[in-house]
Amino acid sequence: MAEAGLEPYIPQGAYYVLADISKIPGETSKERAMHLLHQTGVACVPGEAFFHDDSGEALARFCFAKQDDELEEACRRIKTRDL
C-alpha cells in the first residue's frame, strides 16, 4: 500500500488494513473507492462505512484474507493505476 502512495494503518491482528485514499479523486470515501474500482478492478470498503462522523472520508478498508498471488496482483494494479 505504501509503495502505491496509500499510507496504511496496519492492524495488530485483523485480516484487513485501513489506508489513506485521500490522493484518489473524489469528494467522499465512497467516490474514491469507486474510482479505484473502475481504474484497477480492486475493491475496497469506503471508510465512511465505519465512522459516525467524517473521520473515515480519507480512508478505505482493504481485506488481505486472500491468496498471495491475488494480493500481489491487486498491489500491482494499485501501484500502476492511472489517476
Domain 2-78: state its class.
Answer: alpha beta
What are the structural domain ranges in the chain? Answer: 2-78
Alpha-carbon distance of 47 to 70, in angstroms, equals: 22
The DSSP secondary-structure symbol of 35 reads H
Q: Output the nine-digit C-alpha cell for 5.
A: 502512495
For residue 63, the model assigns a pLDDT of: 94
Burial class (CB in 10 A: 0-12, 13-18, 19+), 53: exposed
Full pLDDT tens readout for the chain, 83 residues: 888 889 999 888 899 999 999 999 999 999 999 999 999 999 999 999 999 999 999 999 999 899 999 999 999 999 987 65
For residue 82, the model assigns a pLDDT of: 64
Alpha-carbon distance of 45 to 78, in angstroms, equals: 15
8 Å CB contact between 21 and 60: yes
